[in-house]
Structure 1
Amino acid sequence: MGDPAAEGGHVDAIRVMVVDDHPIWREGVARDLGERGCDVVATAPDAPAAVRIATAVRPDVVLMDLNLGAVSGVTAIGEITAALPETQVLVLSASGEHADVLEACKAGALGYLVKSAGAEELLDAVERTARGVPVFTPGLAGLVLGEYRRLAEGPAPARDEPAVPALTERETEVLRLVAKGLTARQIASKLVVSHRTVESHVQNTLRKLQLHNRSQLVRYAIEQGLAD
């Protein structure tokens, strides 16, 4: 998904897949998103079907429940994000348990909402997720941030381990703003540079860090304490 074109070009609707084992809830969410401009390209009732269908239709965003029966949604998240690095996963679950949130994020989910979220809040979350911006129900973002920081702490790398490639001052500045949830156009405006320059810095940073997408970039920034 790209940012809306400033030149007035056509902007494609966000392609969404809804995964939930309750058919009434699943179809209701799909209908609400469709009525608000999203292109709901598929739905799925369980984890195996979610992986199979997502791989075929390649949505921008997978809206994923966790309690899906025999196979957990966490398993599906891991398989989908591994197979489709450009697809973002947003969890929509009845559970707000810390363990569930952390497992989902470790598996590759970019955000996590509880099902008490309203229709407009959900639409906003889907739109932000499609842009690679992490979205969490209030109170859960700090939990995830704290866990990433805890995991980032550990013994110093051995002397013979290759060092992480150094980022330039501007690349670090852009990375910090990406981690704060700003779009490329917002970053360009803030730094008074072109949109293409920002995208170039993002791509250079991804290449240097050997990462594949913005969600991995955000996680790296959190681990390095750049999201403060």
Structure 2
Amino acid sequence: MSAVQGFTEVLAASEHHKSAAQSYMWPQSMVGQEGKPVRVYVVDDDNHIRRVIAQELMSDPRTLLVGQAASLREARKHLNQQPFDVLLVDLNLGDGEGLELIGLAQTLNPDALIVVVSVTERDDKVLQAFELGAMGYLLKNSLFGDYVQAVLQVANGGASITPSLARKLLSHLDKSHARPFASVGTLQEERLSARESEVLKLVAGGYTSSEIGTQLGISTLTVNTHIKSIYRKLQARTRAQAVRAASLRGLFS
């Protein structure tokens, strides 16, 4: 397929993006509404995969493709030229590692959310991506590879990750590499409540705040209040960091 044909397909998907808006039932409380979709920037050196992602994003009125790059160099050069909410980035680019773009994206936009896309499940790369702040991990050619769903999930407070990969992440966290915390007294004083532990386990499973609320029979606002308390107690800034900190403390055992 030529570049012209590929571009034509994306344009066609863009037109469909407008006409399909009425076909989606989406709660007004969720991020990603008609007229204010989640803006996505895509970085992948695989032209076919990048085209597939672009078509999926442009065919759903809740998401909008605002830019794309085919290399680490191109992304570094153009990432700051277009505001975005979510960065979809391949781990292994032809001229470097997508991991390098996670910090750059968050520097350019502190509120940016990162979803890593890759053909590999190498544990060191997965863990590193989440330690750097990634909120989602999609395997290419996977049954779970729904790019729109991943974008909407992280944009609405979730952590898009397959259950099997979530278990693998938790089981491979090496407690011997745990960073020392303030003091034993602090740990005793900042112990998670039973409800906070329930919420955190669901967070580790990749559930959004609204899904957690439904499962526990509490409001989304209450869930987010618990999550903020968990962040404070575990000295974390993201859900991934909170899950890691809890695992290192043995809270999932």
Does the Cα contact within 8 Å between 1:20 and 1:44 map onto a contact in 2?
Answer: yes
SS in structure 2 opposite 1:127?
helix
Q: Distance in 1 between matches of 2:114 and 2:131?
A: 12
Q: Which residue among 31, 38, 44 is the counterpart of 2:69?
A: 44
Q: State the secondary structure of the residue aligned to 1:163.
A: helix
Alignment gaps of 5+ in structure 2: 1-25
Are positions 1:121 and 2:151 aligned together?
Answer: no
Partner amino acid, structure 1, of 2:158: V
CA contact (8 A) 1:114 1:137 kept: no
Q: Return closer, same or farther for 1:6/1:102 CA change in 2, 3 Å cut-off.
A: closer
Q: Secondary structure at the match of 2:96?
A: coil
Equivalent of residue 5 in structure 1, options 19, 22, 28:
28
How far apart are residue 80 of structure 1 and its match? 2.5
Residue 133 of structure 1 deviates from its aligned partner by 3.1
TM-score normalised according to structure 1 size = 0.75
- Please state how far the C-alpha of 1:205 moved relative to its aligned partner: 2.8
Pick from 206, 216, 222 the counterpart of residue 231 of structure 2. Answer: 206
1:179 corresponds to: 204
**Which among 187, 197, 216 is matched to residue 241 of structure 2?**
216
CA contact (8 A) 1:179 1:221 kept: no
Q: Deviations over 1:121-144 (max 9, x none)?
A: 333233323334333457433332
Assess if the C-alpha contact under 8 Å between 2:37 and 2:64 holds in 1: yes
How many pairs are equivalent? Answer: 223
Is the counterpart of residue 16 in structure 1 residue 40 in structure 2? yes
The structural deviation recorded for 1:75 is 1.4
Change (3 A) 1:176 1:85: farther
Task: Go from structure 1 to structure 2 and tell me whether the alpha carbon gap of 1:166 and 1:58 turns closer, same or farther (over 3 Å shift).
Answer: farther
- SS of the counterpart of 1:80? helix
Q: Classify 1:49/1:101 alpha carbon distance in 2 versus 1 (closer, same or farther; 3 Å).
A: same
Give the secondary structure class of the aligned counterpart of 2:68: strand
Larger radius of gyration: 2
Judging changes above 3 Å, is the alpha-carbon distance between structure 1 residues 204 and 4 closer, same or farther for their aligned structure 2 residues? farther
- Looking at structure 1, the residues matched to 247 and 178 of structure 2 have their Cα atoms a distance apart, in angstroms, of 18
Q: Deviations over 1:85-117 (max 9, x none)?
A: 432222222334444434433433233222213
5 Å-filtered alignment, 1:136-155, equals 136=161, 139-148=164-173, 150=174, 152-153=175-176
Normalising by structure 2, we get a TM-score of: 0.68
Match of 1:28 in 2: 52
Cα gap change, 1:64 to 1:224, in 2 (>3 Å) = same
Q: Given residue 190 of structure 2, which amino acid in structure 1 is its aligned partner?
A: A
Q: Which runs of structure 2 are paired with 1:61-80 in the superposition (5 Å)?
A: 61-80=86-105
Percent sequence identity is 33
- Residue 137 of structure 2 aligns with which residue? 112
Corresponding residue number in structure 1 for 2:85: 60
CA shift digits 1:42-84 (9 cap, x unpaired): 1122224434544454433211112223331121123334554
Alignment of 1:183-194 (within 5 A): 183-194=208-219
Residue 92 of structure 2 aligns to a residue whose secondary structure is: coil
- 2:57 and 2:33 mapped to 1: Cα distance? 20
